[in-house]
A = this chain, B = another copy of it.
């Protein structure tokens, strides 16, 4: 009786957002990501086998591959979340008159960053990046993911704002934004001090601001 009432309460509170099944999947997924990040950090990416990982989370390897396409994929999940939010934001964002594309990309990225979950997301990206820095295969997967995302962004920009296909600048500006992102991320992760979300935003501002000066950076003569 009490259980029924309780179940009903749950239903009222959560049911309209997610079903039991969906919540369970989310929990499993999250457990896999967390455990993966922890074990990879403790014993190294290569030294951790999927069997170990799956044993701890108590899922079969078969199931693991229903959630992630590869071992690397699980460890890169936090980054994927950010870029998914970025693309969503890019679709809906209004154009601001007089703004450059670079500014728009920066602001879209900052908006995506603000949309990330509050519970430990920053720790997870930081951990993920630290792992990627010492794990070639993770780095490779991450870069390949960025490349895919880049192409998606270019497509959106062309569709929404009607840039011609042959204009190289669209691709170049997106790659610049990506460079600034990577630069900011490394700055944020490997610099001493706490790695808060606001710090990352500050690093992003700094990196994007440094872009114009990079083009005209003088050689050793000056």
Contact = CB atoms under 8 A, between A and B. Distances in A.
Contacts of A180: 172
- Copies of the chain in the assembly: 2
A143 B136 contact: no
A100 interface: yes
Contacts of A170: 217
A101 interface: yes
Interface string A50-73: 000000000000000000000000
A169 B214 contact: yes
Interface stretch (A19-27, A79-87, A114-122, A205-213): A205-213
Contact of A175 (B100, B179, B217): B179
A111 interface: no
A219 B143 contact: no
A95 B217 contact: no
Contact of A95 (B98, B136, B219): B219
A208 to B, nearest CB: 10
A133 to B, nearest CB: 10
